[in-house]
Amino acid sequence: MLKATGATAGAVGAAMGAGAGIGIGTTALAPPAAAAGASFAHPGLLHTRADLDRMAAKVKAGAAPHTAGFAKLTANRHAQSGWTANPQATVVRGGAGQNYAILYNDIHAAYQNALRGHVSGDSAYLDTAVAILNAWSAELTTLAGNADRFLAAGIYGYQFANAAELVRDHPGFELGRFQEMLTTVFAPLSDSFLVRHNDAVVSNYWTNWDLTAMCCVLATGILCDDKAQVARAVEYFKHGQGLGSIRNAIPVVRDDGLAEWLEAGRDQGHALLGVGLMGTFCEMAWNQGIDLYGYDDSRFLKGAQYVAKWAMGGEVPFTANTRRKGALNGWSGSETVTEAAPVDPAMTRPIWAMIANHYTKRRGLPASYLTRIAAKASPEGGGGDYGPNSGGYDQLGFGTLAFTRDKVTGSGAGPGGSAGPAASGAASPAAGAGAGSGAASGSDARPQTGATAAPSASASSTAGDLAVTGSNDVIGWTAATGITALAGGLLLLRRRERVRGASQ
């Protein structure tokens, strides 16, 4: 599957095999031995055993800001041991009969109870998480709806896997049955989306659609010890044709160290969702010895810095682009975006602590915008703390508790938490530091067109738009750009003259 990427099971051997080097800039780091064995390291999605032990120790010691983060968790109504699951045989997202809110509320209750159980040492919360997950794996058989069913598969698939990973060895958990549910109900939809994109042209769906599917494929592969599936996800991150692969999501790297996030031309809410999903993908891969945070001269760092600066109200450059949209052998059109969308600096989502702590604490890199926006968002909550709509449940959250870590001194941390050489001059400079960003400076990976592409006058803004249905409810945020979605295929872009030495 994912034939378009050309990935094979051997790719994961190259990424995770014994003795394989993982690059941060030009510094080679050895992945942990656990990732090279017959199975993956467990727990090893968003949280490793070392992470869970650190959280518990910090909270027990009364350390800040962990205690504030834990207080956010314990105050959340989902993190209570009295939560009772409400499993459904069919979950519908998009169109008539929607009931997916039942699913995401139960997933967040399972995750929050599992996290609270590990940090507090009280097994009652772990028991509750197990009961929720067992109830759903015994009942759920189908995800239905319009195109939004792919979002349900991606978002809730990766979140379900993370909740299960925290209790995979807890007494009474039906791991095999849960793995079967993920591999038959969730992962096939995500795999199919990355190959076929719902029978739309490849650029029809914005960045976050791909990223949800990528997170599901990766998380399910790790939970189920499926190296071929993990290889497909990693290969798509690097070279996938859709807008979620890293060079399409972050197409322009500038000389000031910032890299433009494509979906910043859409609206703030979806851009924040995309950054959070890419961070989630990188963190899950990192915990299995695969460094995607540092891939392509730390391209994600530069893109995250760009979004952080923009989301706080700072001025950022934006290279005009036109993407084709539509259905294969059907209607088609295009959409041109010329500038970054307006923002509300008060808008926040629990995505920043994980990313900021990786680059500044694990890698020892300065990242001023990430540091500032993470501090502004602290203490981060989770599902239920950011409004009642589905957008408030798109991230598992609680990053202040889960990802605040002590700064590594003397040597950088390698993938999976192993020790590695310090990421100093070999790593890319922090975006916003004013230094050049190495070989990737000023690069534009997107296909170019010499002419300014105009929107199709014949395309309807609503008729058959495969990516529009339910998309506003996905995030629970209203698009701020006012750009009409037209509709068709390959990403066509117009490069404007590069701005050198832009001020911060």
- Which backbone phi and psi does 24 adopt, to 5 degrees? -120, 105
Q: Is pLDDT above 80 for 196?
A: yes
What is the total residue count of the chain?
A: 504
329 or 111, which is more confident: 111
What is the pLDDT confidence band of residue 39, given thresholds at 50, 70 and 90?
Answer: confident
Q: Is pLDDT above 70 for 488?
A: no
In contact, 302 and 331? CB cutoff 8 Å: no
Spatial distance between the Cα atoms of 272 and 263, rounded to a whole number of angstroms: 9
Q: Can you read off the two tokens belonging to residue 212?
A: 């949800």
Spatial distance between the Cα atoms of 237 and 246, rounded to a whole number of angstroms: 6
Q: Is pLDDT above 90 for 68?
A: yes
Q: Is pLDDT above 60 for 340?
A: yes
Q: State the pLDDT at residue 324.
A: 92
Spatial distance between the Cα atoms of 187 and 284, rounded to a whole number of angstroms: 16
Q: Is pLDDT above 70 for 263?
A: yes
In contact, 390 and 23? CB cutoff 8 Å: no
HSE-CB at 483 with a 13 A cutoff on CA atoms is 24
Across 473-502, average pLDDT? 29
Q: State the pLDDT at residue 407.
A: 87
- Which backbone phi and psi does 332 adopt, to 5 degrees? -155, 165
In contact, 236 and 221? CB cutoff 8 Å: no
34 or 3, which is more confident: 34
For the question of whether the overall pTM of this predicted structure is more than 0.85, the answer is no
What is the pLDDT confidence band of residue 410, given thresholds at 50, 70 and 90?
Answer: low
Q: Is 252 left (phi over 0), alpha (psi -120 to 50) or beta?
A: beta
Residue 75 burial (CB count, 10 A):
12
Nearest CA to 83 among 136, 128, 133, 137?
Answer: 128
444 or 273, which is more confident: 273
Question: Using the 8-state DSSP alphabet, how is residue 185 labeled?
Answer: I
Spatial distance between the Cα atoms of 242 and 274, rounded to a whole number of angstroms: 14
Nearest CA to 308 among 251, 360, 268, 255?
Answer: 268
| Structure-token match 């699913």, residue found | 103
Q: State the pLDDT at residue 382.
A: 98
State how far the alpha carbon of 320 is from the alpha carbons of 85, 263, 268, 346, 398, in Å: 47, 12, 17, 26, 35
Across 265-284, average pLDDT? 98
Across 79-107, average pLDDT? 98
Q: Is pLDDT above 90 for 252?
A: yes
386 or 474, which is more confident: 386
Q: Is pLDDT above 70 for 45?
A: yes
Name, in order, each residue with C-beta under 8 angstroms of 226's C-beta and a sequence gap of 6 or more: 183, 220
Q: Residue 273 in 3-state DSSP?
A: helix
Q: Can you read off the two tokens belonging to residue 276?
A: 């959070």
| Structure-token match 């404007």, residue found | 496
Across 207-229, average pLDDT? 98
Across 430-454, average pLDDT? 31
**Directed axis angle between helix 49-60 and helix 66-75, to 10°?**
100
In contact, 329 and 471? CB cutoff 8 Å: no
Across 173-199, average pLDDT? 98
Across 129-157, average pLDDT? 98
| Structure-token match 């798109």, residue found | 394
Residue 80 burial (CB count, 10 A):
16
257 or 450, which is more confident: 257
How far is C-alpha 78 from the chain's CA centre?
A: 22
Nearest 5°: the CA angle 286, 292, 294 is 110
Q: State the pLDDT at residue 61.
A: 98
- Largest CA-CA distance found in the chain, in angstroms, rounded: 64
Name, in order, each residue with C-beta under 8 angstroms of 484's C-beta and a sequence gap of 6 or more: 335, 455, 461
Does the CA dihedral 417-366-378-349 come out positive or negative?
negative
Across 61-84, average pLDDT? 98
Q: Is pLDDT above 50 for 491?
A: no
In contact, 411 and 364? CB cutoff 8 Å: no
Question: What is the identity of the amino acid at 36?
Answer: A
Q: State the pLDDT at residue 416.
A: 61
Across 10-25, average pLDDT? 32
Question: What is the identity of the amino acid at 394?
Answer: D
Helices assigned H by DSSP within 287-420:
295-311, 352-357, 368-377, 399-403
Spatial distance between the Cα atoms of 180 and 208, rounded to a whole number of angstroms: 26
Across the chain, mean pLDDT equals: 80
